[in-house]
Amino acid sequence: MNTLRSAEVQKANDWAASKPPLLRFLTACHADFSAETSGAVADYIPELGKADPDHFGISLATLDGHVYEVGDTRVPFTIQSISKPFVFALALDTLGATRVEGEIGVEPSGDPFNSIRLNADNHPFNPMVNAGAIACSGLIREAKGDGAFEYIRQSLGRFAGRDLDIDEAVYASESATGDRNRAIGYLLRNSTVIRDDVGAVLDVYFRQCSVLVTARDIAIMAATLANRGTNPVTGEQVTTPYAISRTLSVMTSSGMYDYAGEWIYRVGIPAKSGVGGGILAALPARLGLGSYSPRLDRHGNSVRGIKVCEALSSHYDLHMLNRSDDARNSVIADYNIGKSSSRRSRRPHEQKILAAHHEDVRIVELVGTLTFSAVDYVSRQLAAQPRPHFIIFDVRRVAAMTRASARLLAEGFQELAAFNVTAILSGIKRSSPQWQTIGEWVEDLANVRNFPVLDDAIEWAEDQIVYRHGGAIDSVEVTELSEQPLLAGLSAEELALLASLGTIRTYQPGERIIAAAVPAVSLFFLRSGVVHVRLPDGIRLATLTAGMAFGEMALLETHHSADVLADKSVTALEVPLPDFLRFREEHPRAGERIMRNLAQLLADRLIVANTKMNLLTAT
């Protein structure tokens, strides 16, 4: 017994000590690349030369806010050129795209990062080289004056999710040895790209490069870029998606300087390096990577950091131009109400109408990230078939929706309106991120409706079909037990005797008639009104109308498994369970018939449930 217990404890300890696969991969990278000693610490800024060449940290942040860390991920180092994409994004949001893009180009230069050269328009080639970065700092200072650096520092902190300090020694060293940057600054002033005092602008630039970060910080900053400007750890929207997309664009073409072409060819992840030893890589909609190792190659990029990025991209096939998303996979189910109706129990005349017009309501259930190509695929599928009167798009499994897909979907809704087709969104709340994306385009469309729950959307559409074809869903009263499916086949005498055992009860809207998990004491036959059968978590199992029984599971179970609530004023015949059981014993033929009817009702429900499952597995 003690041996068995020890084995269980050891197994639990082994499980606790195990690492997720991605963390094991990063750990292996750290172990393998720690042996790489090529390259040299930057010393053209004297203070940078004091960095420990053996420091090596790798951090990866996911878009749900989880951060993996291996090695020296909490060792501070100066951000240097890794600040450039963030200040560019800040400038776009602060001064507007027209102003910033009018001063700074977006083409690769093919030159080293500190080249003293402008493009044919006498503007910086792009914001990732020193000339473009200094111009960005000048634009921020033009907007914020003496508070420019503090404005930048706080912004960098929002990207990192914490307050960031400055290394005063590195700042002093940069300032003392920054003559090449001063030459760039005066060249920009001569071209009127900088209109402010050159010394003041360079002071902002030297300070922003001297901000202290860690590998963990830049992983989170990268993940914020990958997450369309929302910090995945803090949840703060740091900058606009427009600024993010433009920033990632220039990172892709120019983030690794004169190694950028080789980088995007081999690694395929937008990235930015810094001579402090850091590399930031942001894979849109996937992850953010931060590494720190101060040994640099001839391009000024971290040797070990490049190896980590290459290994990660190659091992997991993360090249951004090698996506394998298939738009067809966004449709998890596509059916009409003939295959899966709502949970509302229908009277015979309603069933007849819906059976004849089941193709008038079509349901498309979507999953994953709703992209432009996914919406286009769905649109073409709809156009290839006869148009129904109602199309329900269920998006409860959609994790994200791009603006392009939202706009294309809204334009599809507008086209449907021309054919008198009503579009219905389900599974989306007005407080959700998906509604924030699509709401601006569909809010005012007359042919669009929204239901948080799919079953409610289907029921509403069914009601419209019934109304259009002369049916009625108005409240009726069913006083004859012979109309109850559970009692089908009983004689008039048996029905009369059963009725004498019960009492007519009245319930107000919202009143709980049966509570889940309490002992079953009665069986009910609904005479008028509507009741909802719901699980304790609020999920609706069924909606019942006059002429239907509820509480019948008491014949099989000792406790109720769901709540039954009155939707409107309800009257029902309540038959105490002991009296009903005694009736079955005294009238065995009737008792057998009732149990056969119950078995048929349960079989019908199982068929419906299986149909719903088949719809989800067949698509």
Active-site residue flag, 84 = yes
Domain assignment present for 31: yes
Q: Is residue 129 part of a domain?
A: yes
Query: 173 and 64 in one domain?
Result: yes
Asked whether residue 2 is domain-assigned, the answer is: no
Q: What is the pLDDT of residue 324?
A: 66
Domain total of the chain:
3
Give the CATH number for residue 582. 2.60.120.10
Check residue 333 and give its pLDDT: 87
Residue type for 15, please?
W
Residues 270 and 148 occupy one common structural domain? yes
User: What DSSP letter does each residue of 12-35 carry, written as one string?
Assistant: HHHHHH---HHHHHHHHHHHHHTT
Residues 153 and 193 in one domain: yes
Query: Could you read off the pLDDT of 245-268 as tens digits, one per residue?
Result: 999 999 998 888 778 888 999 999
CA distance 178 to 583: 99
Look at residue 198 in the predicted model and tell me its pLDDT.
92
Domain boundary among 316, 351, 386: 316
Q: Is residue 437 within 8 Å of 369, Cβ to Cβ?
A: no
Given 171, 205, 259, 292, which residue is catalytic? 205
> Which 3 state secondary structure label does DSSP give 598?
helix
Note down the domain range covering 491. Answer: 481-615
**205 labelled catalytic:** yes
| 456 and 534 co-located in one domain | no
Residue 605 domain flag: yes
- Give residue 283's pLDDT: 92
Q: Look at residue 8 in the predicted model and tell me its pLDDT.
A: 55
Same-domain check for residues 533 and 464: no
pLDDT at position 84 is 96
Weakly modelled stretches of the chain, pLDDT under 50: 1, 11-12, 14-16
What integer pLDDT is reported at residue 161 of this predicted model? 97
Encoded amino acid at 407, one letter: R
Task: Among 316, 349, 382, give the residue marking a domain's end.
Answer: 316
The 3-class SS string of 346-383 reads CCHHHHHHHHHCHHHEEEEEEEEEECHHHHHHHHHHHH
List the structure tokens of 115.
């080249």
Q: Would you call 340 a catalytic residue per the annotation?
A: no
pLDDT computed for residue 3 by the predictor: 53
Residues 6+ apart with CB under 8 A from 143: 94, 95
Residues with Cβ < 8 Å from 531, sequence gap 6 or more?
Answer: 513, 543, 544, 550, 564, 565, 566, 567, 570
| End-to-end Cα separation, the chain, in angstroms | 51
Would residue 473 count as lying in a domain?
no
The CATH number linked to 410 is: 3.30.750.24
257 is catalytic: yes
Same structural domain, 141 and 226: yes
Question: What is the pairing mode between strands 549-550 and 522-528?
Answer: antiparallel
**Rounded Cα gap, residues 541 and 562, in angstroms:** 8
> Are 156 and 185 found together in one domain?
yes
Among candidate residues 84, 100, 398, 530, the one labeled active-site is 84
Structure tokens at 304: 């070990």
Q: Phi and psi at residue 399, in whole multiples of 5°?
A: -80, -30
Q: What is the pLDDT of residue 12?
A: 46
Is the residue at 475 inside a domain? no
Which of the residues 193, 275, 308, 395 is marked catalytic?
Answer: 275
549 and 431 share a domain?
no
Residue 5 inside a domain? The answer is no
Q: Which of 68, 151, 171, 257 is the catalytic position?
A: 257
**Domain identity same for 312 and 424:** no
Rg, Å, the chain Cα set = 34
Query: What pLDDT does residue 16 have?
Result: 42
Cα 589 to Cα 514: distance, rounded to the nearest angstrom: 29
Q: 0.75 exceeded by the pTM?
A: no
409 lies in the same domain as 487: no
Which of 316, 343, 364 finishes a domain? 316
What are the angstrom distances between the C-alpha of 395 and each of 62, 409, 537?
A: 24, 12, 20
Looking at the structure, tell me whether residues 450 and 487 fall in a common domain. Answer: no
Backbone dihedral angles phi then psi of residue 296, each to the nearest 5 degrees: -110, 150
Q: Residue 37 belongs to a domain with what CATH number?
A: 3.40.710.10
**Domain shared by 361 and 402, yes or no:** yes
The catalytic residue among 67, 68, 70, 81 is 81
Rounded Cα–Cα distance for residues 205 and 299 (Å): 21
